[in-house]
Amino acid sequence: MGVTATSVWNNCLAFIEDNIQPQAFKTWFLPIKPVRLQDNALSIQVPSKFFYEWLEEHYVKLLKVALRKELGANAKLVYVIKMENKYGNNEPFTEKIPSSNRSTMAPQELDVPITSKNPELKNPFIIPGIRNIKIESQLNPNYNFENFLEGDSNRLARSAGMAVANKPGGTSFNPLLVFGGVGLGKTHLAHAIGVEIKEKYPERTVLYISAEKFTQQYIESVKKNTRNDFIHFYQLIDVLIIDDVQFLSGKSGTQDVFFHIFNHLHQNGKQVILTSDKAPVDMQDIEQRLLSRFKWGLSAELQTPDYETRISILKNKLYRDGVEMPEEIIEHVAKHIKTNIRELEGAIISLIAQASFNKREVTLDLAQQVVEKFVKNTKREVSIDYIQKVVSDYFEMDVATLQSKTRKRHIVQARQLAMFFAKKFTKASLASIGSQIGKRDHATVLHACKTVDNLAETDKQFRKYIEDLNKKFT
Ligand code: ADP
Ligand code: MG
């Protein structure tokens, strides 16, 4: 007799029954029906979403142990939730949800050396007065490697991240700098590395923090006269993950303090992981000595995902949310939303929401409407960096040339056009546009915009530039 869902489940039940109270067993396990066994995944049907949440919260460990005994280390559990009909057709609506397989991240306790000059070392994450240092990793276990799908666009960064997770501080990828545009997975990957390290090396102290929060803590420490404590705290970390370091641009105090922390960690073989929205060469207003540190390790780019990767990301997302959707709809979304993964997810979530609020089936027509809205809304969000890149490309020069101090006419014009479009397509102030486009002041930007307006009226060639570029931004 072969192994079936029922036989596997019956063995699991026998094991579970031996390990919990009879009442609990009756309430939570007898109503479960085994429905499917495929590869190493057992699907069990539960009567409601609440039931599923209860099992995940209270019995997931026991379930896992029982299942692994039967199916081996790679055993997977999928819940099938039978719910009342939501869509108005006759099929009962089912949701399939994979078991999360992860518990929440436990706080990390750390012994502060008695010789420390600061017996009351302050933990910037904790209310003052608490003595022992418990460091919450601030990691989000839902951002892990398992659900960070691989594709050509992220292969280098992903495998560098894996390598670092296998040997934190022990590879030449130190620091590991992951860079790329908005919504391409920097934060997800940064967490995934941390989560993986905690799993492999539970004794290491991992800390994830955004550069913005780091800056706030630093400012706070200066105000309270605890700058040294702040530095010492960060020097205790084994794996420091700082997200969005471009935020440090122009903040010389924070850069300075980070420089000291970085050196200390690096010298002691601790791992530093950074993310940024641009490559070190394109970072502005970051001190040279810090930039050169960033380049010590590996900079890996996250690029925009190709079509196949977009499809698999969408499918994975749907699978995790327990929703099924026709192939043609998934393809439609993947075909039209190309620039970033957050939008891709946004579109699919909004599609699911529309369908369930309006009790409509997800049709291609609905998908088209949703996608259209998404594409329209997001087109307007161009960044000043992007504008400079497009204008430079158009005039076949690099961004550094466009920003340079030269008075050569065609370069000045390109720069003025970049300023003009930055004013037109972003919400940035004139001062901020000026500082990002070659460190000019607001008056220069204003002058540029006026010049472009004038030339548009009088110079036919120039008008053509504006029209061409305009098309690239709309
Ligand atoms: P960034 O920090 O670069 O702006 P995020 O890490 O916040 O981007 O990613 C945006 C969304 O896209 C998140 O919900 C993330 O889970 C998802 N995502 C990004 N890359 C992947 C990937 N390779 N596989 C699955 N989901 C991804
Ligand atoms: Mg991010």
Task: Please report the atom of ligand 1 found closest to the CA of residue 143.
Answer: 16
Among the bound ligands, name the one nearest to the CA of residue 302.
1
Give the per-residue pLDDT at 88. 37
Q: Is the bond into 168 cis (omega within 30 degrees of 0)?
A: no
Distance, in Å, from the CA atom of 23 to the CA atom of 256, rounded to the nearest integer, reads: 61
> Contact 304/181 with Cβ under 8 angstroms?
yes
Half-sphere exposure of 129 (CA within 13 A, CB side): 1
Amino acid occupying residue 462: F
User: HEC states along 240-251?
Assistant: EEEECHHHHCCC
In the numeric block, which tokens belong to residue 16? 């579970």
- State in Å, rounded, how far the first CA of the chain is from the last one: 64
Task: Please report the atom of ligand 1 found closest to the CA of residue 151.
Answer: 23
Task: Give me ligand 2 centre to Cα 226, in Å.
Answer: 29
Amino acid occupying residue 259: F
Give the per-residue pLDDT at 353. 76
DSSP state of 438: T
Strand bridging mode 93-98 / 76-83 = antiparallel
In the numeric block, which tokens belong to residue 45? 């049907």
Amino acid occupying residue 306: D
207 - beta bridge partners?
240
Please give the C-alpha separations between residue 441 and each of 29, 285, 419, in angstroms, as whole numbers. 69, 15, 11
Task: Give me ligand 1 centre to Cα 416, in Å.
Answer: 35
Distance, in Å, from the CA atom of 415 to the CA atom of 398, rounded to the nearest integer, reads: 11
User: HEC states along 209-241?
Assistant: EEHHHHHHHHHHHHHCCCHHHHHHHHHCCCEEE
To test the pocket of ligand 1, the residue of 188, 306, 344 to mutate (highest count of ligand atoms within 8 Å of its CB) is: 188
The reply to whether ligand 1 has any atom less than 6 angstroms from the CB of 75 is no
Among the bound ligands, name the one nearest to the CA of residue 306.
1
210 - beta bridge partners?
243
Q: What is the pLDDT along the chain (474 residues), one digit of tens a residue?
A: 588 999 999 999 999 998 888 777 887 888 899 999 988 899 998 877 667 777 887 888 899 999 999 999 888 888 887 654 333 333 444 556 666 655 567 777 765 544 444 444 455 655 444 445 678 899 999 899 999 999 999 999 999 999 999 999 999 999 999 999 999 999 999 999 999 999 999 999 999 999 999 999 999 999 999 999 899 999 999 999 999 999 999 899 999 999 999 999 999 999 999 999 999 988 888 999 999 999 899 999 999 999 999 999 999 988 887 778 889 999 999 999 988 898 898 888 888 877 766 667 788 888 888 888 877 665 556 789 989 999 999 999 999 999 999 899 999 999 999 999 999 988 888 988 999 999 999 999 999 999 999 999 999 999 999 999 998 887
Confidence (pTM):
0.63
> Contact 463/456 with Cβ under 8 angstroms?
yes
> Contact 348/312 with Cβ under 8 angstroms?
no
Distance, in Å, from the CA atom of 185 to the CA atom of 179, rounded to the nearest integer, reads: 9
* Residue linked to tokens 């891709």: 344
Q: In this structure, which residue's CA is closest to atom 18 in ligand 1?
A: 185
Distance, in Å, from the CA atom of 329 to the CA atom of 422, rounded to the nearest integer, reads: 35
Rounded-to-5 percentages of helix, strand, coil across the chain: 55, 10, 35
Task: Please report the atom of ligand 1 found closest to the CA of residue 190.
Answer: 6
The reply to whether ligand 1 has any atom less than 6 angstroms from the CB of 186 is yes
The reply to whether ligand 1 has any atom less than 6 angstroms from the CB of 68 is no
Half-sphere exposure of 211 (CA within 13 A, CB side): 21
Task: Please report the atom of ligand 1 found closest to the CA of residue 244.
Answer: 2
- Measured over the CA atoms of residue 451, residue 456, residue 458 and residue 459, the dihedral's sign is positive
Task: Give me ligand 2 centre to Cα 304, in Å.
Answer: 14
Strand bridging mode 33-38 / 41-46 = antiparallel
Give the per-residue pLDDT at 82. 65
Short-list 203, 290, 308, 187, CA closest to 248:
290
Q: Any alpha helices (H) in 20-153, and if so which ranges?
A: 22-24, 49-58, 60-71
Cα dihedral angle (370, 373, 374, 376), rounded to 10 degrees? 160
In the numeric block, which tokens belong to residue 296? 């010590």
The packing angle between helices 364-379 and 341-357, to 10°, is 140
The reply to whether ligand 1 has any atom less than 6 angstroms from the CB of 311 is no
Task: Please report the atom of ligand 1 found closest to the CA of residue 182.
Answer: 4
The reply to whether ligand 1 has any atom less than 6 angstroms from the CB of 148 is yes
The reply to whether ligand 1 has any atom less than 6 angstroms from the CB of 310 is no
Among the bound ligands, name the one nearest to the CA of residue 148.
1
Give the per-residue pLDDT at 365. 87
Strand bridging mode 133-135 / 176-180 = unpaired
DSSP letters, 119-149, are TT---TTS-TT--SEEE-----TTS-STTS-
Phi-psi region of 141 (alpha: psi -120 to 50; beta: other; left: phi over 0): alpha
Task: Give me ligand 2 centre to Cα 208, in Å.
Answer: 12
Give the per-residue pLDDT at 358. 67
